[in-house]
Structure 1
Amino acid sequence: MSVTTPLRVSARLPAGRDPFFDNAKFLAITLVVSGHLVEDLREVPAVHAAYFYVYLFHMPLFIVLSGYLSRNFTFSSGKARRLISALAVPYVIFELVYALPRLVLYGKLDISLLDPYYLTWFLMSLFLWRLSTPVWQQLRWPLAVAVALSLLSGTSRLPDELSMNRTLGLLPFYVLGLMLRPEHFEWLGQRRVRIAGAVTLAAGAVVALVVHARVKTEWIRWRHANDAIGVDDLTGSLVRLALLASGALLVAAFLAVTPSRRTWYSGLGMATMYAYLLHGLVVKVAERFYGDWAATLPGAAAVAACGVGLAALLCTGPVRRMTRWAVEPGTSWAFTRLRRPA
């Protein structure tokens, strides 16, 4: 069955594919793109509050879904090759691609494959999380261990290499995804839970509006140790624990209100990695041309709305065909032929 997007691009879902997860991924990527587009407009209080609110759960949502969809990962040759072609190779390509705007706009050329730049941290972290999947599936209390590692990571200034602060700090969301089962999502689809999810999202927005000015932005970026943000380890651990809990709650609420039926954007949700990796190039250029009109609530709202359109555009077929070489590069030539079991 095909569905047509407002961009008049046909998007076809493979038979048997659950549209719920594609819907969730597309809605999440619109938050990511819009959030990055308004990042330089946070002097507007309402925009800062919205930015703070969205950053509490938009990447945790992607990470939970990534964990759930990685439950069957093993070190078998086929899946290991997919890991390299889907994450490692695009990571190298986009580290180089994102070095070019820095060179043109700022006259700075700085390439370090071990120190992810801008959006590429997610590829690096997801690569490491997925490699660790078999380990978490052997532990008796995997989520407790992951939370402990997340809290401990805030007590030390970890190196930027391998995006260690984010990789360990956000690890519990990946492990949470690994622990989820189809029946958990069926429970979220119950009418009473959906209503509770909508109320929770609304309440979260109100709380964000009240507290956003009192919470340092670095907390929601998961990039620094406690002392670098200016607090002791006990306070920092409590803040991190609260962020993990609120992030998990908002992720559950968001998934509860996500449509489970096929929608016009279900097909686009299959290609969210395109929107994720490509939108940063647009953001870096757009930021250079923001005028005074953008630094207002109506202006920022217009920019955020453009983010929704941009996310949809970058998931369409023509864009995918033009950029597949970078986002989903063909790497079969680099591997030996798979041996079929006797």
Structure 2
Amino acid sequence: MPSVTSDPQGPAAAGAEVPASAPRRPGRDPFFDNAKYLAIVLVAMGHSWEPLPGSGRVVETLYTFVYTFHMPVFIMIAGYFSRGLELTSDRVWKLVTSLVVPYAVFEVAYTLFERLTGAPGFPLSPLTPYWLLWFLPALFLWRLTTPFWLTVRWPVALSLVIAAMGAVTSNIGGDLQLQRILQFLPFYVLGLQLRPAHFDLVRTRAARIASVPVCLVALAAAYWAVPRTTTSWFFRRYGAEQLGSPAWVGAPVTLLLFLCAVVLSACFLAWVPKREMWMTALGAGTLYGYLLHGFVIKAAVKWDLFQAGLFSTPAGRVLVSLVAAAVVTALCTAPVRRVLRPVVEPRLGWARSPRPAP
């Protein structure tokens, strides 16, 4: 995707890509590309755990732990690199071609996939994003509101109020998964408020050391919570009443999940390598991995691959995780990006009306 920020990192933002053959710019910080790659690996692994039959309490604990922060950290990085966004005609055009057009293309592609793999009546519904595609219209809408969040006083607090209102309301409807857009909004707004100094704090040795006991406590809390609550809270798709709780519970849960996600995101970032590594180039292709790995997961479900006896064993669950990591890594590579760039990063200059002469 083309860059939509003025930050030196430019296309390193979540949902912003660079050409596979382009050299890395001197001002580009490999830390963020490494973070994006590691986060997309966690996304793919989490999706591979969902279909496991009788996954067990340990896998569900890891699932809960990972789902607490893996999308929030992506969204915060997206917000961080949207700080310089100005809604000029060129920027809005880039938002449309880099988010709206790929959303439409993959909505059709996933619909055809479903129809060809056993669900001939699967509907094409552009306002009801298919599974993981919700992130594209969400990022589009968040970025359109960026000037407001850069202007208003106390933006993070206001966004939390909006998210809490979404969590206590159960009749918002499913169009564009608006519940998720509202409930994940605070992470984008927080990203807009972050500065390089904040990331410098989590890249210190002290932060790495402190993150270890924090993560151990979080894992213990997740292990305790698994039989007592539902992981649907982490999807942000529903109001509190839809999850079997009183409406008012949505507000404190929103704040609690926000705080947990921010803390664990900091712990995650503390262990992200700061130097350029083999994974750095892959971090510029995470959008490809995100959009494409869904085909692999869904195909494996339809072909009952997850029902194999091997995957009911601890070794089989480790194997599933490794395969998911390998698949999403392959989908972020330069050859895949070169082949699929016309649909993931379309260049639609021909569709723009010519600018009038000055």
Same fold (TM over 0.5): yes
Which residue matches 1:161?
175
Counterpart contact for 1:115–1:161, Cα < 8 Å:
yes
Which residue matches 1:63?
75
Counterpart contact for 1:47–1:297, Cα < 8 Å:
no
1:248 aligns with 2:248: no
Which residue matches 2:129?
116
Counterpart contact for 2:97–2:348, Cα < 8 Å:
yes
Which residue matches 1:21?
32
1:265 aligns with 2:276: no
Instruction: Give the aligned residue type for 2:207.
Output: V
Instruction: Give the aligned residue type for 1:232.
Output: P
1:41 aligns with 2:55: no
C-alpha displacement at 1:307, in angstroms?
A: 1.2
C-alpha displacement at 1:14, in angstroms?
A: 2.6
1:151-230 correspondence runs (5 A) = 151-157=164-170, 158-230=172-244
Which residue matches 1:332?
349
Q: Which of 285, 298, 314 is residue 331 of structure 2 equivalent to?
A: 314
> Residue by residue, what CA displacement relative to the aligned partner does 1:90-138 show, whole Å, maximum 9, x if unpaired?
0000100110222123233211111111111000111110000001011
Counterpart contact for 1:42–1:48, Cα < 8 Å:
no
Structure 1: gaps spanning 5 or more residues: 1-8
Please, what TM-score do these two structures have when normalized by structure 2? 0.89
Instruction: Give the aligned residue type for 2:263.
Output: L
Counterpart contact for 2:168–2:249, Cα < 8 Å:
no
Q: Which of 104, 124, 128 is residue 92 of structure 1 equivalent to?
A: 104
C-alpha displacement at 1:334, in angstroms?
A: 1.0
> Residue by residue, what CA displacement relative to the aligned partner does 1:268-312 show, whole Å, maximum 9, x if unpaired?
001100000000001101123221211222111110111111121
Counterpart contact for 1:23–1:266, Cα < 8 Å:
yes
In structure 2, distance between residues paired with 1:211 and 1:146: 27
Q: Which of 157, 161, 176 is residue 144 of structure 1 equivalent to?
A: 157
In structure 1, distance between residues paired with 2:322 and 2:312: 15
Which residue matches 1:3?
none
Which shows bigger deviation, 33-42 or 122-131?
A: 33-42
Instruction: Give the aligned residue type for 1:176.
Output: L
In structure 1, distance between residues paired with 2:133 and 2:220: 32
Counterpart contact for 1:151–1:240, Cα < 8 Å:
yes
C-alpha displacement at 1:11, in angstroms?
A: 9.0
Instruction: Give the aligned residue type for 1:40.
Output: P
Which shows bigger deviation, 24-33 or 236-245?
A: 236-245
Which residue matches 1:5?
none
C-alpha displacement at 1:233, in angstroms?
A: 2.0
Instruction: Give the aligned residue type for 2:350.
Output: W
Counterpart contact for 1:201–1:254, Cα < 8 Å:
no
In structure 2, distance between residues paired with 1:87 and 1:305: 29
C-alpha displacement at 1:335, in angstroms?
A: 1.2
Residue 277 of structure 2 aligns to a residue in which SS?
coil
Which residue matches 2:90?
78
Counterpart contact for 2:65–2:218, Cα < 8 Å:
yes
Which residue matches 2:300?
286
Residue 154 of structure 1 aligns to a residue in which SS?
helix
> Residue by residue, what CA displacement relative to the aligned partner does 1:208-264 show, whole Å, maximum 9, x if unpaired?
122222121211111111111011122222222211110111111111221111111
Structure 2: gaps spanning 5 or more residues: 1-19
In structure 1, distance between residues paired with 2:329 and 2:22: 11
Which residue matches 1:127?
140
In structure 1, distance between residues paired with 2:180 and 2:260: 17
Which residue matches 1:231?
245
Counterpart contact for 1:24–1:258, Cα < 8 Å:
yes
Instruction: Give the aligned residue type for 2:147.
Output: P
Counterpart contact for 1:46–1:297, Cα < 8 Å:
no
Distance 1:84 1:10, change over 3 A: closer
In structure 2, distance between residues paired with 1:141 and 1:339: 41
> Residue by residue, what CA displacement relative to the aligned partner does 1:166-201 show, whole Å, maximum 9, x if unpaired?
000110000000000011111112221221123322
Counterpart contact for 1:147–1:172, Cα < 8 Å:
yes
In structure 1, distance between residues paired with 2:50 and 2:23: 33
Which residue matches 1:295?
312
Aligned residues: 333
C-alpha displacement at 1:162, in angstroms?
A: 2.0
Q: Percent identity among equivalent residues?
A: 40
Q: Which of 7, 29, 32 is residue 43 of structure 2 equivalent to?
A: 32
In structure 1, distance between residues paired with 2:153 and 2:175: 30
Residue 276 of structure 2 aligns to a residue in which SS?
coil
In structure 2, distance between residues paired with 1:330 and 1:202: 46
